[in-house]
A = this chain, B = another copy of it.
């Protein structure tokens, strides 16, 4: 299999130019079953790969994106792209997910709006966008579709599944649902379940969207989109992604292009201007229905609801788990990661944990930092070397 890397830019540490590939799964035969009891057919998946697959498939790393991410995790789509993939600081030659060593796969999540089937996709039964006819999905469904993609690619073993925030939930789900396939899971800035406060913020976001008159019960694809509601949802969520300290240091009470208060209902402070820009940009590019579906999937995630379920679900898990958190993250604060570690330790799983100091709150996992990069590199390289030693010791070709 050839990766989607087109140009080679090892010198810059970038995977260079990449393209997003599309594949249609569950086109024939049985549809994909969903946790809700519904099923879906066909399902299109958008994905990118970086690096080369080993003959023994010992070097596969599956990258899972968060709420607003997509398949484009590294490199550039065009030479004049001002932005690189969302985890470009971590994926590339010489980077923690080193494309000289690993074969990296990242796909747009089920329910998404960037190539993989979601509410904005065409429902083959109606030839119209699904809208709210798209079935509700779970983190388990997202992982199930990723597994189907890997099956399609002929890949049956994953060295590591890695993700931050909701991506960390998906990585945890992989370790639970496909224990025979996963050697390691990297769970960053995540949580074993949403708290009442997390659910509350999601509920407000959904309310902002569904109360936008342009929402039109989700049937807005032919006309005006509920950009205003979505932008409000994003502005609010964005506050939770940054730390109070980070906002203070970046903006404080600095005024925006003015020396005195406006004494009008105008933008006075730089932080207001920044948030409005973030909301407006996101409102135009993201699909509001996807926002509804994905926040619901996060609300539902709760793999360890009681001791019996926890014991049953963790019994077959043998992956090495590495949990990372950031001390200023208040969306999923470190105590949530510690709770996950406590559960895993209680069940004698192979887990390690590190809390990092960062001023950047929840979004820290997206920002390149030598200390996080080193920790991630150490984890995935150890997995790789253990795997090769194992193969070597049982006489398989290395």
Contacts and interface: CB of A to CB of B under 8 A. Distances in A.
Given A265-B132, A275-B203, A302 B253 contact: yes
Interface in A298-320: 299-300, 302
Contacts of A199: 253, 269, 271-272
A198 to B, nearest CB: 9
A243 to B, nearest CB: 9
A247 B264 CA distance: 36
Nearest to A271: B196
Interface stretch (A88-96, A157-165, A232-240, A387-395): A232-240
A338 interface: no
B239 A197 contact: yes
A232 B204 CA distance: 6
Contact of A200 (B36, B229, B272, B296): B272
A216 interface: no
Nearest to A232: B208
Contacts of A197: 239, 242, 244, 247-248
A157 B193 CA distance: 55
Contacts of A252: 196
Contacts of A261: 36, 300
B232 A264 contact: no
Contact of A264 (B136, B206, B210, B239): B136
Nearest to A235: B204
A205 to B, nearest CB: 9
Interface in A214-248: 228-229, 231-232, 235-236, 239, 242, 244, 247-248
Contacts of A269: 196, 199, 203, 299
A363 interface: no
A207 interface: yes
A204 B265 CA distance: 13
Contacts of A213: 213
A345 interface: no
A253 B196 contact: yes
Contacts of A176: none
A34 B305 CA distance: 56
Contacts of A178: none
Contact of A228 (B206, B211, B262): B211
Interface string A271-289: 1100110010000000000
A203 B253 contact: no
Nearest to A135: B263
Contact of A247 (B135, B196, B232, B292): B196
Nearest to A34: B263
A250 interface: yes
A251 interface: yes
Contact of A207 (B207, B232, B244, B292): B232
A353 interface: no
A100 interface: no
Contacts of A211: 228-229, 231-232
20 contacts: A132-B265, A136-B263, A195-B253, A196-B250, A196-B251, A196-B252, A197-B244, A200-B235, A200-B271, A200-B275, A201-B236, A201-B239, A203-B271, A204-B232, A204-B235, A204-B236, A204-B279, A207-B235, A211-B229, A268-B299
Given A197-B242, A207-B232, 12 more contacts: A36-B261, A136-B263, A195-B248, A196-B251, A197-B247, A199-B269, A200-B239, A204-B232, A204-B239, A211-B231, A268-B300, A269-B299
